[in-house]
Structure 1
Amino acid sequence: MRRLKRIGRRLGGLAAVLTLASVVIFALIEAAPGDPALIMLGTGAQPDTLAALRAELGLDRPLALRYLDWIGGVLRGDLGMSYTYGTPVAELIVQRLAVTLPLTALATALAVAISLPLGTWAAHRPGGGVDGLATVFAQAGIAVPNFWIGLLLILGVALGLGAFPTGGFPGWDAGAGTAIHALVLPALALAIPQAAVLTRVTRAAVIEIASEDFIRTARAKGLTRGQALWRHTMPNALLPVVTMLGLQIPFLISGAVLVETVFNLPGIGTLAYNALAQRDLIVVQNVVLFFAVIVLASNAAVDALYAVLDPRLRGRR
């Protein structure tokens, strides 16, 4: 019963946050300059034609009613029709997720694969060559934006070596290997800044845990430095790493918008960018709300993962 109450409170909190987020998203997008009807018809359109299109799109209705129509449709699973594409927004999002989800998953995997070994090795030998390399990588990765990293990868790897395509996505019909091959450079551009942050967090966490009394006790009982590292230090050092990984999800999503644009990928980030430029309000609102759901879900998943990594927390949840 207590567990059900805790779950109920958390779901209620998530629902409240999403409701507030939807209001803020709707208000900010509506406040942005530009008239969707005018963009669709052009500056030479007659006033009566503009008025008729606004009425057809529902843009002449009060803001409160338009918000209730939108959020009510979202709750029913009806995200509306795109002004620009004339296609259901839900269908557009599902199509673009076939690119964005694999891209972000591959970027996350690359970030973890780079940062955990590099940060752990740097902490294992503080002041050594690898530690210096990790410090330079972390500082450079944080300082350089991911879209600039993408441009450098296009110039140096795609054009210079010819090992990867400069952009575009062949689709999954061309084969999983071909599709993933096209996503490697964008995923790397997205992963490097995240890996830089995770490297610093991993190094600091490992050094801090390695100085604890229970690690010295484990060493006194005969464990080697490497055995103490993998048996006791790393499981405890993963907690701040997982926390940071969860906090980086919003940056990963926002970075995907720029990286998809640089590499001309038909993902959900490109969809949001084009829809914003064309004032396709219904698409922008639903995509941003979808991003908000992803961020909240990832934070909830990280919170639940805490209990797996640290059994001491299970009784408090």
Structure 2
Amino acid sequence: MPALILRRCGSLLLTLAAVSALIFLVMNVLPGDPAAIMLGTSASPETLDALRRELGLDQPVVLRYLQWLLDVATGDLGKSYTYGVPVAGLIADRLVVTLPLAVMAVLLSIVIAIPLGVISASRRNGAFDYTAGVFSQLFIALPGFWVALILILVFSISLDWFPAGGFPGWDRGILNGLRALLLPAIALALPQAGVLTRVTRSSVLEVINEDFVRTARAKGVSRRVALWRHAVRNALVPIVTILGLQFTFLIAGAILIENVFNLPGLGRLAYQALNQRDIIVMQDVVLFFAGLVIIMNFLVDMTYLLLDPRMRGRGQ
């Protein structure tokens, strides 16, 4: 077990190194002058030269990459050319919006999808199963930003229950902050709940007729207990996989939703950096997103070892 964890940690570090090299390559080595991209074609040669020296573009590529890795490892992500402040502070400020939004969306997705998927599997080909299937297909097909617009029209403009956009800040009260994030979280959660419902149903169907479930029923365990305690527990591995992927998607894929609701989150920061051609911010935000995906996959792998002891024995 410890050796397996060490191998996974080594794989994590190698993957992070490979991803960082790819990001640096795309941002700094491919054709095009980063300084000219940031300042535009109308900038004077003297201004371009000054920015190149400030960004270290006059140094060899390998040295620039190693210096960037060292800075990232020590928490120094550089300074935004557009905002004139450290990028680490920008990411931290935006993460306090995006992270709660993603957590709320995942929790809503779980609350909606797990019961729907489990009950659908237990009532296969029944009316409830068909209804849940329609729900999952509907929200998988609908774009998240379109769901967001419908929620704004109904609950903000027509009913005036929730704000249509903006974020008051957590210093205005936790309830006010959660209220501002509820509609965006629902818009993010519904498409993910559609996917998770289908995965949960399929996973439970695979184990619901296994020998251990029938044995539990033969020993007098009720149908409900056998379903939730035995079948669902042994169907968790693919469900956990999807949840890990969904969380990283909700962090990195919230760009459209945050722009629809005008939320000052990490996705909106990436969008603004792209529009403003702030390569330093783009480079660090993309690395953060990529690192988050890799770390979440690592945590999912570790969760497998807890859920399925057979994987420890195989050393996978």
Report the TM-score when normalising by structure 1.
0.92
Post-superposition offset of 1:67: 1.9
Q: Which moved more, 1:150-159 or 1:98-107?
A: 150-159
Q: Which moved more, 1:242-251 or 1:149-158?
A: 242-251
Post-superposition offset of 1:41: 4.8
Choose which of 103, 109, 112 in structure 2 pairs with 1:111: 109
Partner in structure 1 of residue 86 of structure 2: 88
- Output the CA distance in 2 between the equivalents of 1:9 and 1:62: 33
1:305 aligned partner, one-letter code: T
The answer to whether the Cα contact below 8 Å between 2:98 and 2:251 also exists between their aligned partners in 1 is: no
Shift of the 176–11 alpha-carbon distance from structure 1 to 2, 3 Å rule, reads same
Q: Is 1:227 the counterpart of 2:217 in the alignment?
A: no
Partner in structure 2 of residue 277 of structure 1: 275
2:261 aligned partner, one-letter code: F
Shift of the 184–242 alpha-carbon distance from structure 1 to 2, 3 Å rule, reads same
Choose which of 4, 7, 10 in structure 2 pairs with 1:6: 4
Q: Which moved more, 1:269-278 or 1:39-48?
A: 39-48
- Output the CA distance in 2 between the equivalents of 1:69 and 1:162: 51
The answer to whether the Cα contact below 8 Å between 2:12 and 2:298 also exists between their aligned partners in 1 is: no
The correspondence of residues 152-167 of structure 1 with structure 2, limited to 5 A, is 152-167=150-165
Shift of the 4–219 alpha-carbon distance from structure 1 to 2, 3 Å rule, reads closer
Q: Is 1:79 the counterpart of 2:77 in the alignment?
A: yes
- Output the CA distance in 2 between the equivalents of 1:51 and 1:304: 48
Q: Which moved more, 1:22-31 or 1:228-237?
A: 22-31
Shift of the 32–147 alpha-carbon distance from structure 1 to 2, 3 Å rule, reads farther
Identity %: 58
Please list the CA deviations of residues 221-270 of structure 1 after superposition, one character each: whole Å capped at 9, or x if unmatched.
22332121122111112222112212333422332122111111111111
1:87 aligned partner, one-letter code: V
Q: Give the root-mean-square deviation of aligned CA atoms.
A: 2.0
Partner in structure 2 of residue 179 of structure 1: 177
Choose which of 259, 264, 272 in structure 2 pairs with 1:261: 259
Partner in structure 1 of residue 62 of structure 2: 64
- Output the CA distance in 2 between the equivalents of 1:113 and 1:281: 39
The answer to whether the Cα contact below 8 Å between 1:246 and 1:298 also exists between their aligned partners in 2 is: yes
Choose which of 285, 288, 294 in structure 2 pairs with 1:287: 285
SS of 2:253's equivalent?
Answer: helix
1:72 aligned partner, one-letter code: L
Shift of the 137–261 alpha-carbon distance from structure 1 to 2, 3 Å rule, reads same
Shift of the 307–8 alpha-carbon distance from structure 1 to 2, 3 Å rule, reads closer
Post-superposition offset of 1:191: 0.9
Report how many residues are paired: 315
- Output the CA distance in 2 between the equivalents of 1:260 and 1:221: 52
Shift of the 33–269 alpha-carbon distance from structure 1 to 2, 3 Å rule, reads farther
SS of 2:16's equivalent?
Answer: helix
2:302 aligned partner, one-letter code: A
Partner in structure 1 of residue 137 of structure 2: 139
Partner in structure 2 of residue 244 of structure 1: 242
Q: Which moved more, 1:295-304 or 1:179-188?
A: 295-304
SS of 2:282's equivalent?
Answer: helix
Q: Which moved more, 1:119-128 or 1:177-186?
A: 119-128
Q: Which moved more, 1:213-222 or 1:201-210?
A: 213-222
Post-superposition offset of 1:36: 5.4
SS of 2:125's equivalent?
Answer: coil
The answer to whether the Cα contact below 8 Å between 2:99 and 2:251 also exists between their aligned partners in 1 is: no
Shift of the 95–233 alpha-carbon distance from structure 1 to 2, 3 Å rule, reads same
The answer to whether the Cα contact below 8 Å between 1:39 and 1:278 also exists between their aligned partners in 2 is: no
- Output the CA distance in 2 between the equivalents of 1:170 and 1:34: 40
- Structure 1: tracts of 5 or more residues without a match: none
- Output the CA distance in 2 between the equivalents of 1:249 and 1:173: 26
Q: Which moved more, 1:165-174 or 1:292-301?
A: 292-301
Post-superposition offset of 1:137: 1.3
